[in-house]
Structure 1
């Protein structure tokens, strides 16, 4: 199973959504999980994970993740060549490095990262930015390219983003 997470922040709470799907090419989700939580910390530039990680970990308590499953976050797993963690890297460590974590970011992070890959989908000239831990990023790149949907953002990830904003 593949579990994709996204969180949207309102004034006094965060809405976290997870869409579970079976294959990279799946058109539809198998299950949707949602949770609203109080915001535990304010936005801190360069420390996005402090705000979002507790939301994802809380929602994960409602999900039975099994060996071989993959987790996707909206953001980065690694940030640079020095090995600094992004949200996904902190999640990978918080889960005792048991499950591969894939980061699919829409906005570019400027620091060089030899493990980051640009993924071009559809007719878009703007890439998605792919990072991962627990699985080789070059193994995942063709899977992201094949995900269902004709546009830059795969259909299930677009749905995830929209649902987090509801």
Structure 2
């Protein structure tokens, strides 16, 4: 199974959502899981993962992690051409490097081209920025390109974004 994860923050609470699906081409999730974190760590510039990772870790306790073969995060695996670790890399190492992670970002990051592949979907002239660890970048980009939906942002990732922001905390 594949799980795409995201976290939404409001005041002193965080809502984490995971959309679980079987195949990259799926149009519907198998399951949507949610967890809430009271008083998540404060955001530290340059250390986004310190805020997000504990919430994702808590969310994934609600899965049979042994059934997950890929995790998709909203963001980057590597933040620059020197492979500075981003959220995706920290998720990967948190699971002992056993589950490949794909980062899907909507905007470019300064000095970050060597380990990023741009994916154009639908009729959009704006790409998605794909990074990966534990999986070849070209394979990760192919998976995101093959996801269901006619628009720039794949349907299940759009659903994840909606579910994360739905219902105030």
Is this a same-fold pair by TM over 0.5?
Answer: yes
Q: Secondary structure at the match of 2:66?
A: coil
Tell me the secondary structure at the aligned position of residue 138 of structure 2. Answer: helix
Confirm or deny: 8 A CA contact 2:131 2:140 kept in the other structure: no
For 1:132 and 1:29, how far apart are their aligned partners in 2?
A: 22
Alignment of 1:68-83 (within 5 A): 69-83=69-83
Partner of 1:54: 54
Q: What secondary structure sits across from 2:20 in the alignment?
A: strand
How far is the alpha carbon of 1:139 from its aligned partner?
Answer: 1.0
Distance 1:135 1:67, change over 3 A: farther
Choose 84-93 or 104-113, whichever is displaced more: 104-113
Q: CA RMSD in A?
A: 1.2
Q: 2:145 — aligned with what?
A: 145
Cα distance in structure 2, aligned partners of 1:115 and 1:39:
34
Gaps of 5+ in 1: none
Q: Which moved more, 1:125-134 or 1:75-84?
A: 75-84
Deviation, structure 1 residue 82: 1.5
Q: Matches of residues 80-91 of structure 1 in structure 2 within 5 Å?
A: 80-91=80-91
Partner of 2:103: 103
Partners in 1 of 2:118 and 2:46 — Cα distance? 21
Q: Separation in 1 of the partners of 2:140 and 2:114?
A: 15
Q: Give yes or no for contact 2:35–2:59 (8 Å, CA) kept in 1.
A: yes
Q: Cα deviations across residues 24-72 of structure 1 (Å, max 9, x unaligned)? A: 1000000111011113222222211111000000111111122661000
| 1:6 equivalent in structure 2 | 6
Runs of 4+ in 1 over 4 A off after TM superposition: none
The answer (yes or no) to whether the contact 2:3–2:68 under 8 Å persists in 1 is no
